[in-house]
Chain A
């Protein structure tokens, strides 16, 4: 029934209409490569849906379904239930949604999956705004970043998806970054093997929305980790593991200078942002260390 009109190395077509230098494209390829053919994918509207289909054509050799922005996790849970009814425990059900579709609009259905313990692998690719509809701010947009709905910089901090997942005490949750693909692939494999809901939250540099030279996608992902703006850690069976503890944080300027979404900041603003990032990093580290100790 599926008409293969293009030859590709992996499960994803080489000609996908994602912008040049898009971090999401790298994530999608690596994810599908680790999960393999025996996977059903649910992708809501957003840049991710460039992979599931447009008109009669699709860019993945996997069966999939595009639900609504608010019910990705619920659709995945339904597919899981049907597979279970057929006695199929092997097939992976992947929900692959953006930050808007996860931390804002789809949060209730994700919470439902986490509470019911459905065996669904949920990956949130976080490009830190509603990119596909023209860069509107989401609750994952970082403090001070300019978007079309926060033109003078977002006045509030981002929501912590990981801490929401930890509050549900799911068996496996992790953050990841495209500058360390090996670590990301290990986490996808681990999530796939988890018997229950698993979540991966991966930062996704977006040249169009963050307004930087597309060549720097991987470099910026690395700088985000080195400056403490993005923290790599895992939560597995009640235990926290910080993947990269930093002795000294790099100056946040190195990370924000190439991105024109931070261009409006004055020197004073940058210093204030630096303090906020440092404080936030310390706050999360303290909390994680506390949790490492208690469970």
Chain B
């Protein structure tokens, strides 16, 4: 691992750093882990934003003026279901990822 990092660092001639150093800000493909996905019954949503606050991945967005007022970024949603569990109106369902619902 040390060698791999040295190789990486030697490209950055300007800086001299010894040992492993992380120099890229990246993201893993956590959306591929998902077994169930959240699905909102938009008519029942009161736009309180609790689902967005408790999302560990921070990928829920509330769009107050749109009909589809809760938007998830499925590139990273792991499908943990905390949003559905905490929703005060219980209007988020977790549906199996491969179902047609």
Residues of A within 8 A of B (CB): 1-6, 8-10, 12-18, 20-23, 25-26, 29, 52-61, 181, 207, 213-219
A-B contact pairs, 6 of them (CB 8 A): A3-B24, A5-B24, A14-B27, A59-B25, A214-B80, A215-B80
A213 to B76, CA, bound (A): 19
Q: Which residues from chain B contact A22 at a C-beta distance below 8 Å?
A: 56
The answer on a CB contact under 8 Å between A21 and B81 is yes
B30 touching A15, Cβ below 8 Å: yes
Chain A residue nearest to B4 (CB atoms) is A55
**B62 contacts the other chain (Cβ, under 8 Å)?**
no
Determine the distance from Cα of A56 to Cα of B12 in the docked complex, in whole angstroms: 13
Is residue B33 within 8 Å, beta carbon to beta carbon, of the partner chain? yes
Contact B86–A219 (Cβ < 8 Å): yes
Question: Which residues of chain B come closer than 8 Å to A12, judged between CB atoms?
Answer: 58
Nearest CB of A to B3, in Å: 12
Taking A14-B57, A219-B86 as known contacts, 17 extra A-B pairs with beta carbons closer than 8 A to each other, sorted by chain A number, are A1-B14, A2-B25, A5-B24, A5-B27, A8-B25, A8-B27, A12-B58, A13-B26, A14-B27, A15-B26, A26-B56, A56-B22, A57-B25, A57-B26, A59-B27, A215-B82, A218-B86
Q: Is B90 an interface residue when CB atoms closer than 8 A count as contact?
A: no
A21 and B1 within 8 A (CB): no
Asked whether A20 and B23 contact (CB < 8 A) given A10-B58, A15-B30, A25-B56, the answer is: no
Within 8 Å by CB of B78, from A1, A3, A13, A21, lies: A21
Query: Could you list which residues of chain B lie within 8 angstroms of chain A, going by C-beta atoms?
Result: 1, 4-5, 8, 12, 14-15, 20-31, 33-34, 53-59, 73, 75-76, 78-82, 84-86, 94
Contact among B29, B73, B94 for A215, CB-based, below 8 A: B94
Chain A's nearest CB lies how many Å from the CB of B13? 11
Closest A residue to B85 by CB, please name it.
A215
Contact yes or no, A13 B27, CB < 8 A: yes
Residue in contact with A14 in the complex, picked from B8, B12, B76, CB distance below 8 Å = B76
Given contacts A15-B26, A21-B81, contact A218 B54 (CB under 8 A): yes
B25–A56 contact, CB under 8 A? no
Is the Cβ of B8 less than 8 Å from the Cβ of A56? Answer: yes
Interface centre among B28, B30, B94 (most CB of A within 10 A): B28
Task: Report the minimum CB–CB distance from B57 to chain A (whole Å).
Answer: 6
Q: Which of B20, B29, B82 contacts A218 (CB 8 A)?
A: B82
- Which residue of A has the minimal Cβ distance to B29? A15
Chain B min CB distance to A25 (Å): 4
B residues near A215, Cβ cutoff 8 Å: 80-82, 84-85, 94
B residues near A219, Cβ cutoff 8 Å:
85-86
Report whether A1 and B15 are in contact in the complex, using a CB–CB cutoff of 8 Å. yes
Interfacial chain A residues near B58, Cβ < 8 Å? 9-10, 12, 14, 29
